[in-house]
Amino acid sequence: MSFTRRQMLGGLAGLAVVGLGAGGTARYWLGRRDDDAGHDYELIAAPLDVELVAGHQTPAWAFGGSAPGTELRVRQGEWLRVRFINHLPVETTIHWHGIRLPLEMDGVPYVSQLPVKPGEYFDYRFRVPDAGSYWYHPHVSSSEELGRGLVGPLIVEEREPTGFAHEVTLNLKNWHVDEEGAFLPFSIPREAARNGTLGRLSTINGVPKPTIDLPAGQIVRVRLLNVDNTATYRLNFRGDAQMRLYALDGNPIEPRPLGKDYWMGPGMRVCLAVKMPAAGEEIAVRDGPVRLGTLRAVATADAPGDWPAPLPPNPVAEPDLANAEKLNFNFEWVGQVSEDIGEKPPSLWQINGVAWDITDKTCADRPIARMQLGKSYILEFKNMTQYQHPIHLHGMSFKVIASNRRKIIPYFTDTFLLGKNERAQVALVADNPGVWMFHCHVIDHMETGLMAAIEVS
């Protein structure tokens, strides 16, 4: 495999830059030609002390001077160009979760690029085909790197206005910190062998139980992103609010009620339209019975809006189910827990009898499945474990078509929360050539075996 050379720092002087946000280290570059319309960012990853626990500093790592990182925005169909600069003490990459892009831009070490070492930079450049809510994070030492705060939202705006006059992004993350803000272990083998190692301090946009002001009587587009390592949020709301679900994991659906608890696994997103109540009233954003934060209605002079039309569908190829080839994927528990793990994480999970070794740079040379470019496939997911797994595929979106546990209204996604002992079918057109990661997004499940590569050629 050959890689785009990573580059040493040194050539950055002399670029015209315009500051974005006070004290931020993300910069938006102006002055591009129209023929390659796009959005240009300089994004620095660096250590940053944050105050998660009042009166205490937590030594986080951050993209663009905040944790979660700078919200990157780009318009559908245009280029996103990010000069990523690594000022961390460790090597890293950026993976663009849910974006259908060329393999060289996918951010997987030794598969799509070499890790970006401290002091180096890497230019990510790709066209963004689909509108919706996405996010970015490293694919190197993920338990620690995501755990320390290297997660950020990537919002792809629709080509045309959608009718939403207001919007807000809520990044959900539980931090692995103690009462004094010190980091706790990001992955403990006996937890990795079960639900995964949970953080202890829940936050929205890096703040525990925040109150977020939104205009009373207005319909607000609320993007909720689960950027956590481990937690599946049982999302629900309390308060006098009408709301409709407009998109799942970046892809539009026919608007419908949220229903009772929406189970949002790591990596998953929802786009909701929330009609804010009268000024002074509040809506609790909850995980099961636990309040994560509050949306507070504040007075506005704006006239009340109407529910926007459904969002336009993304240009994802429709799989040919009648002629699709079937592939089976069994997700299994191995559970060889050893507390004395040394340098190597234990092997706890496997797909079709094969555990991924996160320390072996050659695993991607042995894809678990091969797909023919342009052909349709039905993937049968069989969860043979007592734990749920948010199953994520890089490079392509897939359509969820059936489950033995619940009624499915077919929809496109990049991450499917596979329940305990559930069997589900998803379908896709293998239309993006490359070797694509296919893994559970509970980070310490992924790092203890629950990952594989699928080759499309």
- Footprint of Cu ion on this chain (CB under 5 A)? 389, 440, 442, 445
CA separation for the pair 74, 338 (Å, rounded): 45
For the CB of residue 316, give the shortest distance to Cu ion in the complex, in Å: 25
CB 70 within 8 A of CB 22: no
Nearer to Cu ion, 86 or 413 (CB): 413
Tell which residue, 120, 124, 86, has the closest CA to residue 105: 124
For the CB of residue 329, give the shortest distance to Cu ion in the complex, in Å: 13
For the CB of residue 443, give the shortest distance to Cu ion in the complex, in Å: 9
Measured CA distances, 370 to 62, 354, 397 (Å): 36, 15, 17
CB-side exposure of 63: number of CA atoms within 13 Å? 28
For the CB of residue 125, give the shortest distance to Cu ion in the complex, in Å: 32
For the CB of residue 50, give the shortest distance to Cu ion in the complex, in Å: 28
For the CB of residue 450, give the shortest distance to Cu ion in the complex, in Å: 5
For the CB of residue 445, give the shortest distance to Cu ion in the complex, in Å: 3
Nearer to Cu ion, 195 or 236 (CB): 195
For the CB of residue 419, give the shortest distance to Cu ion in the complex, in Å: 11
Nearer to Cu ion, 57 or 195 (CB): 195
Torsion angle (degrees, nearest 10) of CA 443, 445, 448, 449? -110
Beta-carbon contacts of residue 56 (< 8 Å; ≥ 6 apart):
180, 181, 182
DSSP assignment of 234-251 equals EEEEESS-EEEEEEETTE
CA angle 333/337/339 to nearest 5° reads: 160
Nearer to Cu ion, 107 or 265 (CB): 265
Tell which residue, 201, 142, 94, has the closest CA to residue 444: 142
For the CB of residue 345, give the shortest distance to Cu ion in the complex, in Å: 14
For the CB of residue 142, give the shortest distance to Cu ion in the complex, in Å: 13
Nearer to Cu ion, 193 or 214 (CB): 193
Nearer to Cu ion, 80 or 351 (CB): 351
Cβ burial of 383 (10 Å; 0-12, 13-18, 19+) is buried
Nearer to Cu ion, 295 or 437 (CB): 437
Nearer to Cu ion, 39 or 445 (CB): 445
CA separation for the pair 14, 350 (Å, rounded): 50
For the CB of residue 18, give the shortest distance to Cu ion in the complex, in Å: 42
CA separation for the pair 324, 340 (Å, rounded): 45
Measured CA distances, 277 to 217, 240, 241 (Å): 5, 6, 6
CA separation for the pair 399, 413 (Å, rounded): 6
Q: For residue 372, what are its two tokens? A: 């023919």
Nearer to Cu ion, 394 or 445 (CB): 445
Residue 251 has φ and ψ, to the nearest 5°, of: -105, 130
For CA atoms 395, 397, 401, 403, the dihedral sign is: positive
Measured CA distances, 50 to 8, 57, 294, 388 (Å): 29, 6, 21, 32
Nearer to Cu ion, 148 or 445 (CB): 445
Nearer to Cu ion, 241 or 453 (CB): 453
Tell which residue, 50, 263, 83, 250, has the closest CA to residue 150: 50
Q: Can you give the three-state secondary structure of 247-262, one letter per residue? A: EECCEEEEEECCCCCE
CB 3 within 8 A of CB 114: yes
Residue 95 has φ and ψ, to the nearest 5°, of: -105, 140
For the CB of residue 330, give the shortest distance to Cu ion in the complex, in Å: 13
Nearer to Cu ion, 95 or 389 (CB): 389
